[in-house]
Amino acid sequence: MTSRVAARPLPAPAPAAAIPLAEIAPWAVFAAIVALILLYFVSTEQGAFALFKGMYVHEFVHDGRHLLGFPCH
Amino acid sequence: MTGLLLWRGMLAGLAGAFVAATFALIVAEPHVDAAIAFEARHAAHESGVELVSRATQKTLGLYTAMMLYGAALGGLLAIVVAACHGRVGAIPPRALALLLAALACVVLVLAPALKYPPTPPAVGLHETVRLRTGAFLAMLAGSLLAALAGAWTAQRLGAVVTRLDRWLAGGLVYVAAVALVALLLPHVDEVPTDFPASLLWQYRVAAIAGQMIFWLSTAELFGRLAQPLLAPRVAR
């Protein structure tokens, strides 16, 4: 029963081919920009800084902002 | 390839954040409500106008905020996995994602929280929010730079010492550097003297646990999604 599994050794894992950094770079820039915009609205908008008037964004993300550890009010 | 990984990372981040938000809704929200009740008992400064109801804040608002955060950080995790894959030892993709998430729990969650712990409503003065935001972001950046210094040290020691000693040396450099950053940044203590200590503790544990749940579940899911792309020949 078990011998069938044991008899066939797993192929040695092939050395992983790294992705060229030149291919990663533009995606890294894109991901960083998207992340900065999203994180800004979750963490800072209508707190330390405000692009829009009022407190709606602040109040809407209020609990998430507190629980993710960002200073709120 | 990187684009496919980024897309999967953002999806995994959304799902991980959904899990974390559900945890927060069940475990952390009772403490948030208790803190808001404390605030209401003590302060007469409330204007009375409620822009967003508590019911929306603790459900739709919470999930939205967490999932925006999750998509952002899930994408960044994917980029870091893509860059480390095949360059950092011979770690398979799933283990690599989980290892990086465990490091994120220390570098991006625990270390900043030791200096500037998450604060519930009713803790923190409105006038100092800019200072506190700046200091918190500086602490985050400092912790990240300290981790890079630790990783650089471990890599430089490569040929000289054993793997365990490399990890120890890198960890030591990280701890020393992050301690220095924490010492240099301003001290913040705005907890009202009569705020219940046990509530503060429970709130902080729940907030930190929620973030760790986010990182680990995101990484686990992302590892499973990335495995077929990065190591198609390894059996599941």
Q: Is the CB of residue A34 less than 8 Å away from at least one CB of chain B?
A: yes
B113-156 per-position pLDDT tens digit: 999 999 999 888 888 999 999 999 999 999 999 999 999 999 89
Could you give the CA distance from residue B113 to residue A70 in angstroms, rounded to a whole number? Answer: 10
Question: Is the per-residue pLDDT at A39 higher than 70?
Answer: yes
Contact B112, B139 (CB under 8 A): yes
Give the domain ranges of chain A.
20-67
Helix ranges (H only) for chain B are 2-23, 29-42, 54-56, 62-84, 93-104, 111-115, 129-156, 163-184, 197-230
Average confidence (pLDDT) over B30-54:
81
ipTM above threshold 0.95: no
Chain A hits for B136, Cβ within 8 Å: 69-71
Q: Are the Cβ atoms of A71 and B117 closer than 8 angstroms?
A: no
Q: How does residue B48 score in pLDDT terms, banded at 50, 70 and 90?
A: low
Chain A hits for B32, Cβ within 8 Å: 63, 66-67
Residue in the structure block whose two tokens are 């948030």: B32
Q: Is the dihedral of CA B97, B101, B103, B107 positive or negative?
A: positive
CA atoms within 13 A on the CB side of B91: 17
> b vs e for B161-175, b when ≥16 Cβ sit within 10 Å of the residue's Cβ?
eeeeebeebbeebbe
Give the domain ranges of chain B.
1-123+194-236, 124-190
Q: Which two tokens stand for residue B68?
A: 């925006």
CA atoms within 13 A on the CB side of B224: 10
* Whole-number pLDDT of residue B69: 97
